Amino acid sequence: MRVRISRRAHAAVIAAALAAGSLVVPLAAAPSSAADGDCLTSVPTYVWEPYTVSNIAAPRVLHKYMDWGPQSGTTDSMIDTLATANLKGTSKVFTGGGNGIIYEANISGQVNAYKDNTATGGSLLTPVKTYSFNWSSAARIVTNGTYILVLASDGMMDVYQQSSPATGNGTITKVGSTKSSATSEMVDATDVWMVNSGLSWLKDGTIKKAAFTVLGTTPKVLFASEVATGVTASQAWSPGAGVVNTQTTTGDPDTTGQIGKYATGPWTQLDGEVRSGIVGEIMADAGPCLADPADDLQPYFATPPDETGGEEAVDAPEEPAQTPSNTVTGKFTLGNGQPAAGLSVNLTAADLGDDSPAQTEIRVPSLGTATTAADGTWSFTLPDTLPADVQKAKDDNGGILNLEATAEGVTTTTSTPMLGVDTLSTTTAQQSPTVTGQEDDAHTTPLAPNTVTGTTKDTYAASTDPQTLAAKIESDPRPAPDTVPTWQSDNSTLAADYNPYLVDGHDTSAETVRPPTVPMDSGNCWDTKSDIDHSTKYTVVGEAHANWDAQSSFEYESSMSSSIETAVKSSGNWTLGSSKELSSNTGVSVGYPFKPKYSHQYKVPILYKKWKKQHWCSGTVRSTWYKIEASKYSVPGGGAVSKIGKDVSSKDGSENFKKSPQSRRAYIPKGNTLQLSHGNSVKFGGAVSAFGISLSAKTGYDSNHRQKIKVGNKSGKHWIWGKNGSISSGKAGVFYSK
């Protein structure tokens, strides 16, 4: 969407820009490439995202955003339109002039012109015309729509003119060439951009501008001068005269891709963080001049969304107190989902030994056993009085007792050992009802081949960690997917058709499983565990959203209230299991206060342990498995008590609102606040990467753990919507902001 203002307003903007020194006036100004008298209140901004594979000839994604209110920095800049398209990675892509024309110079010696028709429901790359120019070796290509400047590596700049800049289907004619110290500087610059008849570039932390003009058939670049110095940015570009946007990149995916906005006359920061997490080559379809949208106009793309449905947002009602129970239940199945009947289930306290020295093998006593019924289900009631060390582990975890249930078996066809490992919890009457591991998939756990033996060594190596799915998710500045694959490798990514049930060429997923000869409840059987590795990792425990005139806040105070997936390896790779509950006292209150237009995840440091676990009978190891699980809140030496996570504003805005179910929408009157303080958050996919495995997590909302929003005083309703349900239902999980 592009909003334009009148010719008279246009003249006023030009006069003001001249007075501020933000326009460059050449000797002979190039004609405007947009319709006369048009000023833009939102500017299409395209991000050519990085390669996702090592093949440079593979397609790269061109992603469209809208720089809303581009000259003020006070509104919601960088709206994600959700529009994308693919272009060959070997091409050079450029745009400018404010007409939605995108050019691609490919290695075949062609220049393809496309029209961006997304504002009217069309394609991002609608083919317009193909030109025969080989610009594939150019060092830089920039355009203001009318003129296309092609810089060679030696500083020579060839200048071409497009006869129809508004459509992109005219004749492109070479005007002439020029070379100067300015053009030579541009070749080695970090970034170069063009607005109207002004050329600008960023080099060595300094932004310079110069006037571009054509005298007859002679192009010139004149009057180079400094705009700003000490600019720490990886890229810079302009949506229009008088404004420069910058992007900074870091090695931290939570902070990289931060976009700032500056006025140029004089150089003044308008917004230090418009948005984070946008990486790639960024270019704007810069218009001839800029104007602010109406103050009370909510940002939108293409067409305003239908705001029907929903009602005034109110806090979810208090939930009834959870009835405490010492009974835990679960279900074990074969790999194909059929019941695994007649198997013994052994219960142990999962938190026992968490403070034991590394590499020390400790014995974990059984709390009791059960047997799976014909449908694979089992049930066990813990005694009212627990062993002293088990009771202490429960008390230390805020009244939640984490348990591990294991079931062993052997297939009747190939005699393959099988193992199932489940994680459960019980609570006391005093425990908040908002956290319970019993909700995870009703604790249906498939058995898996148990090919790990007592002599099998852990295969994880830090050198191969960057090749894992977990590392790819963690290093991506965009929010992780809602869910991560159940099966993962700690050394590489798994093939899409990976089958964990293939053992020696046989698919064991449907084979009947019988109990072992010696049952697990034999008096001469026991379990052991040893901490073979541990590491503190910052883990997503929540996120808060605020768009347009709203402010967001997230609070995580005094105690843990999170549920984090576990991972088990009984064969060659890892499978994600049910979650472990952390509810211990942290002694610190963390979070971030109300921040305007701020949508970010939040992380706290949690200690993760990798255990080697074994089941013994009569002095012989019968089953061996590895397990990754969260242990406790733990601030690393010299580390932070918490940190801001990834920018998640891509989930907000008008385009996402349009896709939201009307039943999940609610509005907040101006000047009001709302908070989620009941129920559970969503499960945040890829909340942490531990030992090469990506785990998800969720948080229980209560009086100490809340997502909050405060709405400003602009007219109209501020809409929010729940991801999993309405706000009043208590099932929203997290709410997003329009």
Structure tokens that stand for 412 in this block: 């009747």
Q: Are residues 279 and 332 in the same domain?
A: no
3-state class (DSSP) for residue 533: strand
Is residue 461, in this structure, part of any structural domain at all? Answer: yes
CA angle 221, 224, 230 (to 5 degrees): 135
Q: Is residue 268 packed enough to be buried (19+ CB in 10 Å), middle (13-18) or exposed (0-12)? A: exposed
Task: Select the more confidently predicted residue: 730 or 240.
Answer: 240
Lowest-confidence segment of 218-232, 420-434, 609-623, 702-716 by average pLDDT: 420-434
Overall domain count for the chain = 2
* pTM listed for this prediction: 0.89
End residue of a domain, out of 226, 254, 284: 284
Q: Are residues 340 and 254 in the same domain?
A: no
Does residue 26 contact residue 196 with C-beta atoms inside 8 Å?
Answer: no
Per-residue pLDDT at 728: 87
- DSSP for 193-224, please give it: EEETTEEEEEETTEEEEEEEEEETTEEEEEEE
- Identify the band that residue 61 occupies on the pLDDT scale cut at 50, 70 and 90: very high
- The type of residue at 380 is F
Q: Are residues 603 and 672 in the same domain?
A: yes
**Measured between alpha carbons, how far is 131 from 115 in angstroms, rounded to an integer?**
15
Task: Select the more confidently predicted residue: 285 or 519.
Answer: 285
Per-residue pLDDT at 511: 96
End residue of a domain, out of 249, 284, 319: 284
Is residue 302, in this structure, part of any structural domain at all? Answer: no
- DSSP for 142-191, please give it: EE-SSEEEEE-TTS-EEEEEES-TTTS-S-EEEEEEE--HHHHHHHTSSE
Per-residue pLDDT at 76: 66
Per-residue pLDDT at 34: 43
Q: Are residues 244 and 332 in the same domain?
A: no
Q: Are residues 271 and 343 in the same domain?
A: no
- Residue 523 to residues 342, 365, 395: CA-CA distances in angstroms? 19, 11, 28
**Measured between alpha carbons, how far is 650 from 643 in angstroms, rounded to an integer?**
20
Does residue 309 contact residue 665 with C-beta atoms inside 8 Å?
Answer: yes
**Measured between alpha carbons, how far is 392 from 396 in angstroms, rounded to an integer?**
6
- Tell me the pLDDT tens digit for each residue of 296-327: 888 999 999 988 888 888 887 777 666 777 88
Structural domain for 54, as ranges: 7-284
CA-derived radius of gyration, the chain? 30
Is residue 318, in this structure, part of any structural domain at all? Answer: no
Say how many CA atoms lie within 13 Å of 599 toward its Cβ: 28
Per-residue pLDDT at 310: 83
Q: Are residues 337 and 226 in the same domain?
A: no
Residue 22 has pLDDT above 60, yes or no: no
Average pLDDT over residues 594-603: 95
Q: Are residues 222 and 348 in the same domain?
A: no
Q: Are residues 387 and 335 in the same domain?
A: yes
Phi, psi of 576 (to 5 degrees): -75, 140
Per-residue pLDDT at 359: 78
Give kind and range of the element (H or E) at residue 383: none
- Tell me the pLDDT tens digit for each residue of 38-56: 789 999 999 999 987 777 7
Closest to 147 (Cα-Cα) out of 66, 211, 236, 64: 211
- Tell me the pLDDT tens digit for each residue of 670-698: 999 999 998 889 999 999 999 999 999 99
Q: Are residues 696 and 617 in the same domain?
A: yes
Q: Are residues 22 and 155 in the same domain?
A: yes
CATH number, domain with residue 119: 2.130.10
Is residue 115, in this structure, part of any structural domain at all? Answer: yes
End residue of a domain, out of 284, 312, 344: 284
Is residue 315, in this structure, part of any structural domain at all? Answer: no
Is residue 305, in this structure, part of any structural domain at all? Answer: no
Is residue 638, in this structure, part of any structural domain at all? Answer: yes
Closest to 196 (Cα-Cα) out of 8, 17, 12: 17
**Measured between alpha carbons, how far is 717 from 634 in angstroms, rounded to an integer?**
42
Per-residue pLDDT at 434: 36
3-state class (DSSP) for residue 391: helix
Q: Are residues 334 and 212 in the same domain?
A: no
- Tell me the pLDDT tens digit for each residue of 450-472: 999 878 888 888 888 889 999 99
Average pLDDT over residues 230-257: 95
Q: Is residue 308 packed enough to be buried (19+ CB in 10 Å), middle (13-18) or exposed (0-12)? A: exposed
Per-residue pLDDT at 632: 94
The whole-chain average pLDDT of the chain stands at 89
Residue 645 has pLDDT above 60, yes or no: yes
Lowest-confidence segment of 65-79, 198-212, 559-573, 630-644 by average pLDDT: 65-79
Q: Are residues 269 and 390 in the same domain?
A: no
- Within 8 A by CB and 6+ apart from 357, the residues are 531
Is residue 304, in this structure, part of any structural domain at all? Answer: no
- Identify the band that residue 519 occupies on the pLDDT scale cut at 50, 70 and 90: low
